[in-house]
Amino acid sequence: MPGHWLADLLAPRSFRPGVSPPNAATSVAIRRLAAWLALVILALAAGCQSPPAPTGTTAAPPTAGASSPSVQPLPPTAPTPVPAGSSRATLLKAANEALQAGDAARASDLFQQLLGTPATPGDPAPLSAAILGQATFGNVLALLALGREDDARRLVDAARSRAASDPFARLAAQLYDQYGMTGDLAAACASVNQQAGPLLAEAARALDAAGVALAPDRPCVVPTRRG
């Protein structure tokens, strides 16, 4: 047990015969020195002990790879479907709106659906011709924007036969040819718009009467998705 030697040191001693015992003052001094040494040794022993473990709750280390939650963008709003049995004018309006919104794929689908829909009985001839023409031109524009040049070429080739009477067919062929030479759809559109105004004035009036808006001097606008 630590400190047992101190008890031995402080305990009374017997002395051999012939040896004089220390006087009282000396004994007191020895005992005081021994007590002081005992305190020093106990203090040193206490300092060498490991400190007690801290108590209380400690924060858990961050989990590897954890990150703060991020705000996810909302998904794009789905376009309103065109009701079954809609008129050709309604289909054309929806296709134009998709093209203006930058959704070239949806616009092309609607234009193609329109091209496969027979003319509505009772529609005036100028309206039927304008709907067919704009659907052709709009689909060529959408297909070029999608990089589907072969499909656009086939559509243009099919429309060349009516180019003499259909200004949209002539402009569609011009758009395709200009794009083929430059590879720049915006430049091809600008070239078409320069000539379109006088050619499309009559068609614009027929479409407007059916509720389909058309700017005759700017029928070609490169579709660019917004947002």
Q: Render pLDDT for 44-101 as a digit per residue (tens, 0 to 9).
A: 665 555 555 545 545 555 455 444 444 443 344 445 666 667 899 999 999 999 999 9
Q: Is residue 67 part of a domain?
A: no
- Identify the residue with better confidence: 218 or 58: 218
Tokens at residue 99, please? Answer: 């093209």
pLDDT of residue 71: 41
- Identify the residue with better confidence: 73 or 36: 36
Asked if the model's pLDDT at residue 111 lies above 80, the reply is yes
Q: Is residue 189 part of a domain?
A: yes
Give the domain range for residue 149. 88-209
Q: Is residue 129 part of a domain?
A: yes
Q: Is residue 184 part of a domain?
A: yes
Rounded CA-CA distance 140/176 in Å is 8
Q: Is residue 112 part of a domain?
A: yes
Lowest mean pLDDT among 36-50, 114-128, 176-190, 210-224: 36-50
Rounded CA-CA distance 203/198 in Å is 10
Domains identified in the chain, total number: 1
Rounded CA-CA distance 213/208 in Å is 5
Tokens at residue 222, please? Answer: 């490169």
Q: Is residue 223 part of a domain?
A: no
Q: Is residue 82 part of a domain?
A: no
Query: Taking the mean position of all CA atoms in its chain, how far away is CA 52?
Result: 52
Q: Which residues contact 144 (CB under 8 A, 6 or more apart)?
A: 152, 175, 176, 179, 185, 188
Confidence bin at 225 (pLDDT 50/70/90): confident
Tokens at residue 42, please? Answer: 């106990």
